[in-house]
Structure 1
Amino acid sequence: MSAPTSCDAIIIGSGQAGNPLAVALAGAGRRVVLIEENLLGGSCINYGCTPTKTLLATAERMHHIRTAAEVAAPLLPGAGTLTVDLATAIARKTQVLEALREGVRSNLIDENPGITVLAGHAAFTGPHTVAVALAEGTRELSAPLIFINTGTRTAIPDNIEGLTDSGYHTSTTLMELQDLPEHLLIVGGGYIGLELGQMFRRFGSKVSIVENGPALLEHEDADVSGALQSALEAEGIRFVLGAQARRVSRSATGLTLTAHTAQGTRHLRGSHLLLATGRRPNTDRLGLGYAGIQTDEQGYIPVDSNLQTKVRGVYALGDVHPGPQFTHLAYDDYRIVRDALLHGKRRSARQRPLPYCVFTEPQLARIGLNEAQAREKKVPYRVASMPVSVIGRARHTSQPAGFWKVLVGDDDQLLGAALLGGQAGEVMSVLQVAMTGRLRYQQLQEIIFAHPIWAEGLNNVFRDLRRP
């Protein structure tokens, strides 16, 4: 093999950290090679946020039609039994993501001549050398800076018998179905399982969710996860908690999932099976050992507070390093590295807020500490909660489900919040800005919000603060 082609930076993976970093480095005059084995845009555009939220919009519109009578609108004939035209919904989803993918391609290739995009699989051959398997052969590259942004894939459990023979879906394959499942069985009660479960229930499927823990969303307070479970049960979703899925079998009439519970063995019958059992990093085929990079037990790449691995000049960005897996954090990884390399500004990746939103209806939005985390960290706090039903906007829109809970420290500044209700993610963003600006809760109580918007509830939620 000839000597490696040198460049200034190699980026492995076209995700939400890698793409903008390529543009920033190229804009600063660096020669950048970006390598993508699959589809440009990473998991967010192709398998995660874009397809999921596009299809959730379809499900929400259908739900609004079915429930029109709640706001005294006449119910159209047949609306109560409305089911989705799934093939059309999938086609719309595909059209949306193809447009976004084309935008990524144009931005990387047409608008930035300093970026070379290669379609192939990359693997390390040394600390700063990479071999790329292309259709026309193997090409070896070298660079002082290498960024790993290869994302994750569905973790397939190895303790459920019969998966391969019986067949199953991941979140990716489920969103390519052309025919509506009669009864969707879901293993996993995290945000992926809940969002897709409510989506297909509103599409017209029966849905049963099996979770091995005692509650949904293991990182949430019990009152929050319990309230969301009640809202989803009201739509007809069945939950089996504290259940270990052990075996799946298929017959002429469908699937049978066998789960062990404290009350005995359960047999759940359905037509389709979704595994929403977490994610695993795409690091096992990168040849990391040749670079001197080790992974943890789950395959994630440890990094320091600057997102650098133990090999100088090699970074891990996005979901391949340990920590929460969200698009907005991956994008912030890009900003941390960009500022350090191009602007001489350093900011720790370990000292940043974690906002996130579960796009069920009602939405669940979280920022900062919850009660369990505050107790674990021994952080003194006061807590207040308020039912969403008292907010004027909830009454106007007939969306009374849920509650808001806020935590305040001894300095009167916000420690965190969990909001379950309509437009919770948007209201949570107001709290995040207040936390960033170190506002005291009294300032939020006195802000003049436009009437009648959801955020107006922030004038009242702090009214009954108390020690736990």
Structure 2
Amino acid sequence: MHDLIVIGSGPAGYTAALLAAKAKMKTLLIEKNLNNLGGTCLNEGCIPLKGLLHHSLHCADYEKIMSTVSKKISGLRSGLKARLEGAGVEILEAQAKFASAGEVEAKGNIYKANNILICAGSSARRVFKCGNISSPESIFALNPVPKNALIIGGGVIGCEYASFLNNIGVDVTIAEAAPSILYGMDEEAVRALVREFKKKKIKIMCGVGITVPDDGGKVKIKSNETETEEQYDIIIEATGRVPFTQELGLEKAGIETDPKGFIKVNADMMTNVKGIYAAGDCINTPMLAYTAYKEAETAVDNMVTGKSGSLDYVRIPKLVFSMPQLGSAGFSEEDARKNNIDYKIFKYFFKGIGKAVVEESDAGFLKLLTADDRVIGASAVGYEIADIMNEIGLIINAGVSVETIKSTMHIHPSYSEIITEALIFGETAAAVSER
């Protein structure tokens, strides 16, 4: 009998297992493929892709880049396994399925636990059924490197993949059915990113329909005004992700899902069945590793102390690791208007930040929204904005006053000093035209 069984070893799964072990809970972590320990994020997503993006800035040799990144990922995976084992977590390689509400079947054996946490993750959505369309993970096994590529989908994954392929010399086209790429994100920031993409010769086609022939022939891309036909060496479908819950036998435990297959949970991450929780990509929340961490923490905290969850998904910072990057935190202008918030805008361009200029990374800007002497939201485009958005996320979450931020000294030269520059000089800088 275990205190906790965790199904899946991605960010939510391994975080929960480590936290439970720290709380002296007898914990079993079941992962169907230990070569995938750490989940999509560690093996085929967040971390390796960021490695590809970083190394492709300095080297266009795909095989050399992949060799370097693969070694680093292998080391991280080994380190995670050692950390789990060192914490006393029992690890089992097997496909887990529910036998009942309190029992999990794996490798023909039945395992019982007081609590079960489902962290089954997600898989790439496949809209097109043609055999010649590749999934996003194919970017880690290009052989040979294509001369041109079509990316179907202009969301986060599509834009990040486009940046990497562009860096290594591939002629990239993004085709998106929505009116713009990154639809739903700050429109001004998206327009700025589109301008930078076009400077890099990345083609963007929005509001289009796509017809892909089964025989690998030319792809038809049609809008209201035009229709084109072109042959592509590789077609990557990046149309989002879907929860990976179909193999878990949820019905045997009476666990409810929504029409899209996501597991329904409450604020404590508990399903409709007492003692069974879910976290990460398999529930209908932002598919981000760091939200998965907090969801796992919320679930384990509820198991151990009974404390209720209170995650705020509005305030979390978000980032697209394209080149340049695009980020946001808190309220957008549209959010503020919908909530009838009287807000002010402070904007400053990276062309006014010395470090960005000398490093030739001065594209983009930071836009801050304030109300009642507090920062309530932000959006940005730039080459080094991940840590800036982290800082702004903290500022928003802590309710730091504008005056306190303005009086805070930032290291000079640095990218993050744009935060205080925006609040002090933003009204003047906002009038400066983008070039």
Secondary structure of 1:121's aligned partner: coil
Asked if 1:367 corresponds to 2:334, the answer is no
Q: 1:116-127 residue pairs with structure 2 within 5 A?
A: 116-127=90-101
Q: 1:321-336 residue pairs with structure 2 within 5 A?
A: 321-336=283-298
**Alpha-carbon deviations, 1:183-224, whole Å to 9, x = none?**
011000011111111111110111011001111111212211
TM-score, length-normalised on structure 2?
Answer: 0.93
Corresponding residue number in structure 2 for 1:112: 87
Matching residue's letter, 1:447: T
Corresponding residue number in structure 1 for 2:248: 286
- Cα RMSD, aligned residues only: 1.8
Asked if 1:223 corresponds to 2:199, the answer is no
Q: In 1, Cα distance between the equivalents of 2:426 and 2:48? A: 41
Matching residue's letter, 1:112: A
Greater mean deviation of Cα atoms: 18-27 or 359-368 = 18-27
1:338, CA displacement in angstroms?
2.9
Matching residue's letter, 1:445: K
1:107, CA displacement in angstroms?
1.8
Secondary structure of 1:8's aligned partner: strand
Of 99, 121, 139, the match for 1:151: 121
Greater mean deviation of Cα atoms: 269-278 or 346-355 = 346-355
Q: 1:12-411 residue pairs with structure 2 within 5 A?
A: 12-38=7-33, 39-62=36-59, 84-109=60-85, 111-113=86-88, 115-132=89-106, 134=107, 138-157=108-127, 160=128, 163-164=130-131, 167-251=132-216, 255-350=217-312, 353-409=315-371, 411=372
Secondary structure of 2:263's aligned partner: coil
Unaligned runs of 5+ in 1: 1-5, 63-83
Contact 1:170/1:275 (<8 A) preserved: yes
Q: In 1, Cα distance between the equivalents of 2:307 and 2:427? A: 39
**Alpha-carbon deviations, 1:22-64, whole Å to 9, x = none?**
12222333222111112211111111112101111111224xx
Pair member with larger Rg: 1
Contact 1:216/1:226 (<8 A) preserved: no
Q: 1:307 to 1:352 in 2, by over 3 A?
A: farther
Secondary structure of 2:57's aligned partner: helix
Q: In 2, Cα distance between the equivalents of 1:464 and 1:172? A: 41
Of 439, 452, 456, the match for 2:413: 452
Matching residue's letter, 2:161: L
**Alpha-carbon deviations, 1:93-133, whole Å to 9, x = none?**
21111111111211223x133x221111111121111111x
TM-score, length-normalised on structure 1?
Answer: 0.87
**Alpha-carbon deviations, 1:347-378, whole Å to 9, x = none?**
31346631121112222121111112222233
Q: In 1, Cα distance between the equivalents of 2:390 and 2:25? A: 35
**Alpha-carbon deviations, 1:229-276, whole Å to 9, x = none?**
11011111101110122323445xxx5222331114332321001010
Q: In 1, Cα distance between the equivalents of 2:30 and 2:353? A: 50
Q: 1:217 to 1:247 in 2, by over 3 A?
A: same
Q: In 1, Cα distance between the equivalents of 2:227 and 2:400? A: 52
Secondary structure of 1:334's aligned partner: helix
Contact 1:86/1:179 (<8 A) preserved: no
Corresponding residue number in structure 2 for 1:438: 399
Secondary structure of 2:212's aligned partner: strand
Secondary structure of 2:137's aligned partner: helix
Tell me the percent identity.
28
Matching residue's letter, 2:120: T
Greater mean deviation of Cα atoms: 170-179 or 284-293 = 170-179
Q: In 1, Cα distance between the equivalents of 2:41 and 2:313? A: 24
